[in-house]
Structure 1
Amino acid sequence: MVTIFNNKEEITPYAADIFVAAAQKAIQERGIFVIALTGGSSPVAMYKLLATPHYRTKIDWNNVFVFWGDERWVPLDDDRSNAKMSCHHLLNHVAIPKANIFPMYKTGITSQDYALEYEQSIKSIVREDGKFDLILLGMGDDGHTASLFPAQVVLQENSKWVSAYYLESQNMDRITLTASTINKAREIVVITYGENKSNALNEVLYGDYNPQKYPMQLIKPLDGKLLFLTDQAAIGTNQ
């Protein structure tokens, strides 16, 4: 499903309302809310809004468990860290126990070994069904999502829940939920907007199936919901 807004500012409260509703529903039905946050610039306004009293008081943060969809393998105090950004704009402003936050980075361990550890952390919370209640994603202008970049071996990974690999084009390790893990989620929300995303978004939604070129096309929930939140600039004439 694609919901088109006039501009990116209209996306923010809509996305925040989805977050709150998903949290309330999960906690009411299962006792906990398990979320995978996204990095980049797209969710920043939503995180800021969720941190305001009007929104943060609607969620029982004691029962929220936070993971990330992907991360650059950089220290948590690095400005490139998705965890640092998310904490700065949201998590530092809500009453969530520190033990409920699972950053995708750890000192003194390789990214590959930590991917195995991170998978076990997820399993300890969601159990074997592997279902996140909500996974937030962005999309790059090359059609990548999380750290599922075009033409990378990770795109074929079906057994691991979490994978780490060296991304040559960025000269760094990345760690990511795999497409098969993302697709188990009860709800997936993709926030992507702006004219620079137009070509990739339209190829993902309306073009031929070519996930090696546009990895976002791999995101197809098994029995959950998939929602794209976008704007007129990104969608262009296709609506």
Structure 2
Amino acid sequence: MTNERRVLVHPDKDTLAGAVAARFITKVLDLLDDQDVVHVVLTGGSMGAAMLEAVRDSPAHKSVDWARVHFWWGDERWVPTGHEDRNDRQSREALLDSLGLPDGNLHPFPASDSGMSLDEAAEAYAAELGRFGAAGYPHPVFDIVFLGVGPDGHVASLFPHRSGIQVVDRPVIAVRESPKPPPERLSLTRPVINAAQRVWLVLAGADKASALGLALAGASRDEVPVAGIKGRRRTVFFIDQDAAAEVPDSLIAREY
């Protein structure tokens, strides 16, 4: 099994979103040729939404049997169902609502109005992951995990200098006192992300350049959490030119 780490640079955000969308559609088609179901983890943020909108707007997306694709999320804000801050609402509006998916294909985190406490919600999502456990894991072996990267190097809701990035004994954590509002969140843990076949990190903007440069230079995952993220087969950083400012030229791939 190969394990590759690549950085692909695109001229601007729009080109970046379109390129990732095209690769996503192509990869899902390839995967569905070989397996019955594909499991994908989505991310929030402006680039996460832009990529999904580009999938929606591509005529090629109609070639995919989306009924065989399951969607999960890497993290979620502890706010009510349908709240504008929820990542699942953003994903639904950008793409998912247009696909006519069976309800069972969508796996959102519980919301703050679910009647559960934050800790109970983490346990509930862990149980949902467990229903699709595979290959000895208490969770799906995800085919693709999309992640954004914060200016501080955080991924999902695993923040620098916090214990979340160090958790290895459970698949989901409750996050309190997040340095980025809202303070309460739910997040997948690093072992779940790193068990994925492919991790695709999508980031844009000059404010991401320092964190990306540090991660690729071998920074500690406690200092820069993205440094501790790596898919089993491939890890790809899809970035725009502004985010590439501190990436050594030798690490930039010329082709996928």
Q: What is the TM-score of this pair, normalised by structure 2?
A: 0.87
Match of 1:22 in 2: 27
| Alignment partners' CA distance in 1, 2:53 and 2:219 | 35
Deviation sequence 1:191-237 (CA, Å, 0-9, x none) = 0111111111111112x42211110011022x221000012211115
| Alignment partners' CA distance in 2, 1:126 and 1:50 | 28
SS at match of 1:148: coil
| Alignment partners' CA distance in 2, 1:19 and 1:71 | 22
Match of 1:137 in 2: 147
Gap runs ≥5 in structure 1: none
CA gap of 1:23–1:126, structure 2 versus 1, over 3 A, is farther
Q: Is residue 183 of structure 2 the alignment partner of residue 176 of structure 1?
A: no
| Alignment partners' CA distance in 1, 2:99 and 2:133 | 22
SS at match of 1:43: helix
- How far apart are 1:172 and its partner, in Å? 2.2
Match of 2:201 in 1: 190
- Tell me which of 227, 237, 242 is aligned to 1:228: 237
CA gap of 1:168–1:181, structure 2 versus 1, over 3 A, is closer
AA aligned opposite 1:147: S
- How far apart are 1:63 and its partner, in Å? 0.8
Q: Is residue 49 of structure 2 the alignment partner of residue 40 of structure 1?
A: no
Residue pairs, 1:1-239, within 5 angstroms: 1-52=6-57, 54-106=59-111, 107-127=114-134, 128-129=136-137, 130-169=140-179, 170=181, 172-206=183-217, 208-221=218-231, 223-236=232-245, 238-239=248-249
Give the count of matched residue pairs.
237
SS at match of 1:196: helix
Structure 1 moving runs of 4+ over 6 Å: none
Instruction: Indicate the RMSD between aligned Cα atoms, in angstroms.
Output: 1.6
Deviates more, 1:86-95 or 1:43-52: 43-52
State whether residues 166 and 174 of structure 1, in contact with CA within 8 Å, keep that contact through their aligned partners in structure 2: yes
| Alignment partners' CA distance in 2, 1:198 and 1:52 | 29
State whether residues 74 and 105 of structure 1, in contact with CA within 8 Å, keep that contact through their aligned partners in structure 2: no
AA aligned opposite 2:199: I
SS at match of 2:44: coil
AA aligned opposite 2:198: E
- How far apart are 1:168 and its partner, in Å? 4.5
| Alignment partners' CA distance in 2, 1:226 and 1:168 | 26
AA aligned opposite 1:163: I
Match of 2:252 in 1: none
AA aligned opposite 1:157: V
SS at match of 1:144: coil
- How far apart are 1:102 and its partner, in Å? 0.9
Q: What is the TM-score of this pair, normalised by structure 1?
A: 0.93
Gap runs ≥5 in structure 2: 1-5, 250-256
SS at match of 2:187: strand
